[in-house]
Amino acid sequence: MKGLLGPHADKIYALLRVVVGLMFACHGGQKLFGLFGGMPPGVPFFIQYVGGTIELVGGVLIAIGLFASLAAFISSGMMAVAYFMAHQPNGLLPIQNHGEPAVLNCFVFLYIAARGSGPYAVRPD
């Protein structure tokens, strides 16, 4: 059963890709350029510059649909690493350790990696 929004699935997927990509890019801008409040002092180099670069570049590529599968796959892996490095030591479950955004991003990016750029992309996969 396709449901109520089934005929619009491709458009909704494109919207998901754009919104998630742009939100991820904002995190990169925060880490790299101090936008949106910046990062607190003492953030390790790896998190700030490597993570920030993956977030900014990966987010933009996902949003515009250029090499979205590869960018989403790398972003998914980065979010898995972020979860286990920053959140999991603070509790077993994401609800306990405030890791829900990392887990959700990880699996949304994994879905985008599997599905590809889709419609309304600079370069559909």
What pLDDT, on the 0 to 100 scale, is given for residue 47?
A: 87
What pLDDT, on the 0 to 100 scale, is given for residue 1?
A: 56
What pLDDT, on the 0 to 100 scale, is given for residue 59?
A: 98
Q: Distance (Å, rounded) from C-alpha 4 to C-alpha 21?
A: 26
pLDDT digits (tens, 9 = 90+) for 67-99: 999 999 999 999 999 999 999 999 989 999 999
What pLDDT, on the 0 to 100 scale, is given for residue 78?
A: 97
Q: What is the mean pLDDT of residues 113-118?
A: 96
pLDDT digits (tens, 9 = 90+) for 33-70: 999 988 888 888 888 999 999 999 999 999 999 999 99
Residue 124, pLDDT above cutoff 70: no
Prediction pTM value: 0.92
Residue ranges of the domains in the chain?
10-33+44-115
Report helix angle 100-115 to 9-33, nearest 10. Answer: 130
What pLDDT, on the 0 to 100 scale, is given for residue 46?
A: 86
Residue 106, pLDDT above cutoff 90: yes
What pLDDT, on the 0 to 100 scale, is given for residue 2?
A: 74
